[in-house]
Structure 1
């Protein structure tokens, strides 16, 4: 059932290796001299004016001569002032501590923090400072305290712009890794929910986390994901999109074999089906594997609304995905090569609209679709109100002006508008839609309807051949055996979805049948 991905990784070759300058481990260690330790960190962070070293000493306990080291903007100043500096400087400090083991006494009896530990490794100290922790260095000790004090600004939790819903949770992931993990933990309050942390990026040292539900996720998928992550050698990871492209199966395919989602409820549902999620610090998009083709047409709202209405919406998404790629090609094939298939009144109307148009239909379609993609990209990148105005003005004015100037015919404008509307319904596959739409148009330009059919066959053969972490990409989309098709092109009622998809889950039981509970007594 399980087959490992066939992607060949070449990132470990010498010609592809990332330079290690600036990332070599520190060789020096702390000494018993406070001044030498302060100089050590100033040399490590040379020319970095955000590094702060604050020296202070208790007036009653002369041995309590210390210094805190942190990076400005990365810490919560209230935590540092109230939980570290003020307790150490208080007048009655000598009554509570033993100066013979002063560092440990300060950690256990004075410093107010639930995240404090003794550290001796200079590399871990540097990493802690960069992460937003505060170092507490004491005179006479060659070790220090690492105190949790992270407090940088972060975006609040809000509904994702890319996946709004009418009914359902309004929460969305943020750029904070720990906040995102807490959103998942709130939805799956079970000790079987596991988190595996790792750092990626030779220079950025970006924190990532593999998340899965023990007992549901298949070990082969988890192992394959870890192996692919281990083979990534890159200087920086700034978003989950870096990893998504590096670990995907069929790297030259326009279809994504790794899912990316911005909603906690969606990722939680994937985890409960046995998938594995990857969180990346600094990215609001969480990756899930394996990812199947039918997931492109599923929305979280399908599971919150009545299943009949949800099925209608899901079928609309599937229908528009087909029409957005085939409408221009079929129109071109009919008016160019197969005019006998059109009703005579319609053929006469199309022919009359083409009078005086200098360009052939194929070139007109390519030009108008290209202009529509430009307007779509402009509307996406510009501010909301301005982008909407550009879309409206561009669509109405340019389209009407092109018809009146006899640059293109009116049917071409209509076909372009229908194609654009159906393309925007499925934003998850907009990239592959544009690629195959162009592919179909080229086929229709040379061979008519036969060229379109040949291109469709090639596309489906390609989709049937690719896999996502060993799972066929088109799994569950071509069969409805037992429970495999209950949540593919349609969604079965909740009382009938008693089993999980068996291809990527160890435990098949989702729920005990509740069908009788809904019947009238």
Structure 2
């Protein structure tokens, strides 16, 4: 395809219009030009142009070519009314539009539309005839649940929108389309609840999207990096998920969703730190057990980020804090081990992450076996060879296992763990406390589209903390997050629970 960008107006000469489009799609043999006429003796000349790789050819034959060729469309139909006559009485399609610019023609053909040219008309018709290629709707592999919906998003934007609309039947659900990417011209969609979402956040999002000028958008992560508040931050200030029930729940809290065509991951914003510890399954089970597992995730975050640094600090600088019998056992296990404790920890944590990353690239039926066997074999061999002490294996196992509970924050966990280790290696527990203080201040300074990143964790309002460290019964969650759902923070009115009595 040529790199011409001049927008040319179509004329009333059909052959000239065909030449204009051919000059644009020069050397592109996937574009089909089909000239045909109707059954009338003095038939109007037609030409349908489409991409054989993007369009449903059967749909074009049944809905465009066949109806026009069977109809008697002669020159007696005035040129100024021909297009309306075709749209109103001939073609069997719903998604149609008229245009005159060659740029519109180019974009529509590349988006899987068929373009119909008519003799004597200065306008053409764009008819939707996309060939749908998409995988079936199934449960996401990365986010399985034991209770709750089993549907996941696909790479089709329209399918993903439909999955959300099937859950929210409200006229307040607004859908806005945009196009990004100079070369890819990727369609994106902004979805929000008009009666809940903050107008300021929506305006800011549209401003950031409007300022994007990039050659191509191939996944929603491209947009995430370009609109995030802190592009260099180790924490995500824009959420993502591949489950429609999660997106629907966030929309009902006043958040905004962003869908990119070709990506199964939908962005949600604003995104808060505490959302890393929430699971959609928390809302599908009894609140007490859901609260227990949520607390377990917070404890797992502490274990996986702090355990190596605390062990290093106590073994290296604060041995008086370790019980005597345990200290003797640790010293005995380190006998004849040549490496310092800090090197042991960094080396084993690195090997652990290496095994986990390798298992992700293997087929699912062998990845778990390889990761478990690899960890056991390497650990046992390292201890037997006196290359690594046994307590380091235990610390690595605790650290790695705890990280599995928080897959959405895996990257930041590694950075925090390493920073804590570095500070602890210089100053012991004092360095560890200093590292935690810096991290806390940094998290408190973050914003997500103007909303404090730690909203719900840095307040003591009983309505703002009702769904944070623990989850409460639905009949108690009367309010939405006040800053996010700026227009209406009342989730439900006073709920009177009836009790059956004999």
What TM bracket, shorter-length normalisation? Answer: over 0.9
Q: Which of these residues, 453, 456, 471, is aligned with residue 491 of structure 1?
A: 471
RMSD: 1.8
Say whether the 8 Å CA contact 1:97–1:109 is kept in structure 2. no
Distance 2:154 2:76 in 1: 45
- Structure 1 residues 96-107: aligned runs within 5 Å: 99-100=77-78, 101-107=81-87
State the partner residue of 1:512: 493
**Residue equivalent to 1:378:** 358
C-alpha deviation, 1:22, in angstroms: 6.7
One of 256, 260, 265 as aligned partner of 1:285: 265
Name the CA shift for 1:209/1:404 in 2 (closer, same or farther; >3 Å).
Answer: same
1:313 counterpart residue number:
293
- Please give the secondary structure, in 2, of the residue aligned with 1:433: helix
Q: Does residue 355 in structure 1 map to residue 306 in structure 2?
A: no
Correspondence for 2:176: 196
Distance 1:281 1:502 in 2: 31
What is the distance in 1 between the residues matched to 2:41 and 2:139? 53
SS in 1 for 2:474: coil
Matched residue, 1:222:
202
Counterpart check, 1:246 vs 2:226: yes
Residue equivalent to 1:3: none
Secondary structure of the corresponding residue to residue 70 of structure 1:
strand
Offset at residue 157 of structure 1 (A): 1.3
One of 51, 59, 68 as aligned partner of 2:31 = 51
Partner Cα separation in structure 2 for residue 229 and residue 139 of structure 1: 40
Inter-CA distance 354–60: structure 2 relative to 1 (3 Å threshold): same
SS in 2 for 1:313: helix
**Runs of 5+ unmatched residues, structure 1:** 1-20
Alpha-carbon distance in 2 for matches of 1:285, 1:407: 43
- Compared CA separation, residues 29 and 376, structure 1 to 2 (3 A): same
What do residues 442-465 of structure 1 show as CA deviations (whole Å, max 9, x unaligned)?
A: 111111111111111111111111
Task: Say whether the 8 Å CA contact 2:338–2:387 is kept in structure 1.
Answer: yes
CA contact (8 A) 1:276 1:289 kept: yes
SS at 1:87's partner residue?
helix
1:211 aligned partner: 191
Note if contact 2:33-2:47 (Cα within 8 Å) is conserved in structure 1.
yes
2:139 aligns with 159
2:115 to 115, 124, 135: 135
Query: Does structure 1 residue 39 correspond to structure 2 residue 19?
Result: yes
Unaligned runs of 5+ in 2: none
Give the C-alpha shift of residue 62 in structure 1.
3.1
When the two structures are superposed, what TM-score results if normalisation uses the length of structure 1? 0.92
Alignment match, 1:14? none
Deviation of 1:86 after TM superposition, in Å, equals 1.0
Would you say how many aligned residue pairs link Structure 1 and Structure 2?
499
Structure 2-normalised TM-score?
0.96
Q: Does 1:275 align with 2:255?
A: yes
Q: Note if contact 2:2-2:26 (Cα within 8 Å) is conserved in structure 1.
A: no
More deviation, 67-76/478-487: 478-487
* 1:95 shift after superposition: 8.6
Secondary structure of the structure 2 residue equivalent to 1:54: strand
Q: CA deviation at 1:346?
A: 0.8
- SS of the equivalent of 1:503 reads coil
Q: Which residue of 2 aligns with 1:94?
A: 72
CA distance in 1, matches of 2:459, 2:144: 31
SS at match of 1:475: coil
What does residue 451 of structure 2 align with? 471
Q: Is 1:121 aligned with 2:92?
A: no
String of CA shifts for 1:10-52, please: whole Å, max 9, x gaps: xxxxxxxxxxx97664332222332222222121111111111
Deviation at 1:159, TM superposition (A): 1.1
Partner Cα distance (1:227, 1:420) in 2? 41
The answer (yes or no) to whether the contact 1:97–1:106 under 8 Å persists in 2 is no
